[in-house]
Structure 1
Amino acid sequence: MKFAIIALCLVAAVLASDKYDELNDNFDISEVLNNPRLLNSYAKCLLNRGPCTPEVKQVKEKLPEALETRCAKCTEKQKQMGKQLAQEVKKHHPKLWSDLVALYDPEGKYQQAFQDFLASQ
């Protein structure tokens, strides 16, 4: 019985630590979307065309894995922010969107999964 309880605790600990850091959950995505200078700076980082802030560098490092796993390690807040950001950039900055897609999904292998992610609640 003790072994089962310890095993369940270990599984719970592994599952809990299998999420991305929640510190970025309080990031104000609307501030970036409504500030062309900030958006441009972040885009340059993500596109390997300029320096990165520590926060954007974290996102950049996790982006390939998040795309590959359909954001499996993302918190709900991170998923919401990702959807909002993707929808806004696609709609209002199509050139930036196409540059990001060309860099992070040049073969188009994540397109369907990403469309499913955007359509999910």
Structure 2
Amino acid sequence: MKTTLILCLVAFVVGDDKYDSSHDNIDLSEVLGNERLLVSYTNCLLDKGPCTPEVKQLKDKLPEALETRCAKCTDKQKTAGKQLVKEVKQKHPDLWKQLVSKYDPSGKYHKSFEDFLKN
């Protein structure tokens, strides 16, 4: 959510230690500045539309990333995830609410996620 897309478009796993960093250079401004693209990616994360392979990988790893506070994320993925979340929360609160409803319906990760965003 908490990341991204969208969170996060930043968490892709290959190994056991860290998420795959091959997509760390995604242009976040392109995603955040393109309403159609942002909605499309969000729809994938919400099971409301098709997924690109990259967003599908994110979607598959998002629950683990939330549970572990992104423990396997690279520094670049953490930074990008924080940027995405802050932007979506601020500029697209309706999308954010839908993501939270799907990935943290009970509020289980709320406090730890807010702490993660502060660091």
The normalised TM-score by structure 2 is 0.86
Over the matched positions of the two proteins, sequence identity in percent amounts to 67
Q: Are 2:81 and 1:75 equivalent residues in the alignment?
A: no
Q: Which has the larger radius of gyration?
A: 1
Which segments of 5 or more consecutive residues in structure 1 lack a partner in the other structure? 1-15
Partner of 1:97: 96
Pairing of 1:1-121 with structure 2 (within 5 A) = 17-120=16-119
User: Residue 96 of structure 2 aligns to which amino acid in structure 1?
Assistant: W
Report runs of 4+ in structure 1 exceeding 2 Å deviation.
none
Partner of 2:7: none
Partner of 1:13: none
CA distance in 1, matches of 2:66, 2:86: 15
Which segments of 5 or more consecutive residues in structure 2 lack a partner in the other structure? 1-14
The root-mean-square deviation of aligned C-alpha atoms, in Å, is: 1.0
CA distance in 2, matches of 1:103, 1:40: 15
SS in 2 for 1:25: coil
Q: Which is bigger in relative contact order (C-alpha 8 A, separation at least 6)? A: 2
Shift of 1:24: 1.5
User: Residue 67 of structure 1 aligns to which amino acid in structure 2?
Assistant: L
> Greater helix percent: which structure?
1
Q: How many residues align?
A: 105
The normalised TM-score by structure 1 is 0.85
